Structure 1
Amino acid sequence: MLAATSGSENYIALDQPIDIDVELVRAVADGDRKAFERLFRLYHSRIYKFSIRMLQDHLSADEVACDTLYAVWTSASKFREQSTVSSWILGIAYRRSLKSYNKNARHTENREPTYQMEELVESSPSVNPETYTNNAMEVGQMQKALSTLSSNHRAVMELIALGYSVTEIATIVGCPENTVKTRTFHARRQLRIALQD
């Protein structure tokens, strides 16, 4: 079933699902500030969560999130719709996170931990305090183990944790799927060793 839009030559298939994110990027490419504000609200938190896990620094992660979304604003017209909007945006965030990581790597040993244990582990009145403490300790050990990985290996593991598929991760980090699988294999092996220690 087809429906006419503004002109008789423009038709939209009504039985096709409309990708809201793609529509927002198209509107941003046309200079629509309201669409950009909506895209900003949808993606700032996701980008920040990804970047904070990579960078372990609140200010750097927030800077990456803002820089990434500014890049979306200025280059929305370059989005070719060959991947999902999420993969495109996180690809930009990945490259900016790597750049920030490499620029600030020599200063990371003096940083304070980025998370409070309470923020990492859900707490509710029904949670047993011993279970809460054990979970918080496990999260701390996992964060420490993740910090031993190279930036490429860590990025793959963080994207897996965020629920991205191998195909999506390959698009985000800009490498073949087999490279993602290899990085995942090596990262898991390194994590096992680090967690055993």
Structure 2
Amino acid sequence: MHETDEQLEAERQLDLARAACAGDRAAFGQLFKLLYARIHRTVWGMLGDESEAHDVCQEAWIKAWKRRDRYNFESAFSTWIHRIAVNSALDALRKRKRLGQRFLRVFSGSSESGTLDMAADTARTPKEHLRDKELGKTIEQAVADLPEDQRTVLVLREYEGYSYEEIAQVVNCKIGTVMSRLHLARQKLQVRLKKELS
């Protein structure tokens, strides 16, 4: 039986993780190249600021290198580093003390960098573009107002496509708790958007 690409990638990451945990900086650098973009997207989704997300990601990878002896191989290395990054992002949010800023641009495609520009359809009218932009802002603010624990699982599930099991490992809670938080987050968004868009 031939191994799938996912299995081969998982084995590659495991080999690199073993080497990195033994102090191999080159192997750790390879893991960084493989996983950084996905980690950054998650943190950016939580913070809503690309520059701050970059700083938090760098901090998370530094923590991972310093704590590499704590990685026990019970979960994928990608899950372990995601957990560190999510916790670092939550710390940043707590320090910020003002959660009313626009963030989670991934839900609206309003990234200033144009990375996620969903309004590229030139056939649409200015009125339609304006309506979508206003909708995006409404969604952003609705997500921004969610409690941290609900917002985190929403980002990991809806944007990163993580399974319930993976999210449970990242946020260190039971799968049932993940499902409950996600249900509450979606419910609150639906109520909020129905109220504001009706």
What's the TM-score once normalised by structure 1's chain length? 0.80
Following the alignment from structure 1 to structure 2, what is the Cα–Cα distance between the partners of residues 85 and 76? 10
Following the alignment from structure 2 to structure 1, what is the Cα–Cα distance between the partners of residues 34 and 147? 29
- What do residues 59-109 of structure 1 show as CA deviations (whole Å, max 9, x unaligned)? 321121001111221222321111122211111111111111101123x44
Following the alignment from structure 1 to structure 2, what is the Cα–Cα distance between the partners of residues 119 and 135? 17
Question: Structure 1: which 5+ residue stretches go unaligned?
Answer: 1-13
Q: Is 1:141 aligned to 2:133, yes or no?
A: no
Question: Structure 2: which 5+ residue stretches go unaligned?
Answer: 106-110
Deviates more, 1:126-135 or 1:154-163: 126-135
Contact 1:26 1:77 in 2 (8 A): no
Residue aligning to 1:100: 92
Q: Aligned-residue CA RMSD in angstroms?
A: 2.7
Following the alignment from structure 1 to structure 2, what is the Cα–Cα distance between the partners of residues 105 and 183? 22
Residue aligning to 2:115: 119
Contact 2:102 2:140 in 1 (8 A): no
One-letter identity of the residue aligned with 1:179: T
Calculate percent identity across the aligned residue pairs.
27
Residue aligning to 1:64: 56
Residue aligning to 1:4: none
Residue aligning to 1:8: none
Following the alignment from structure 2 to structure 1, what is the Cα–Cα distance between the partners of residues 35 and 176? 28
Following the alignment from structure 1 to structure 2, what is the Cα–Cα distance between the partners of residues 134 and 27? 52
Contact 1:120 1:139 in 2 (8 A): no
1:25 to 3, 17, 22: 17
- What do residues 143-186 of structure 1 show as CA deviations (whole Å, max 9, x unaligned)? 22211101110000000021101111011001111111110111
Q: How many residues align?
A: 182
Query: How far off its partner does 1:54 sit?
Result: 0.9
One-letter identity of the residue aligned with 1:55: L
One-letter identity of the residue aligned with 2:124: P
* Inter-CA distance 84–127: structure 2 relative to 1 (3 Å threshold): farther
Following the alignment from structure 2 to structure 1, what is the Cα–Cα distance between the partners of residues 115 and 136? 11
* Inter-CA distance 148–81: structure 2 relative to 1 (3 Å threshold): same
Provide the secondary structure at the position in 1 that maps to 2:75. Answer: coil
Deviates more, 1:181-190 or 1:46-55: 46-55
Residue aligning to 2:173: 175
Larger radius of gyration between Structure 1 and Structure 2:
1
Contact 2:102 2:144 in 1 (8 A): no
Contact 2:39 2:85 in 1 (8 A): yes
One-letter identity of the residue aligned with 1:158: V
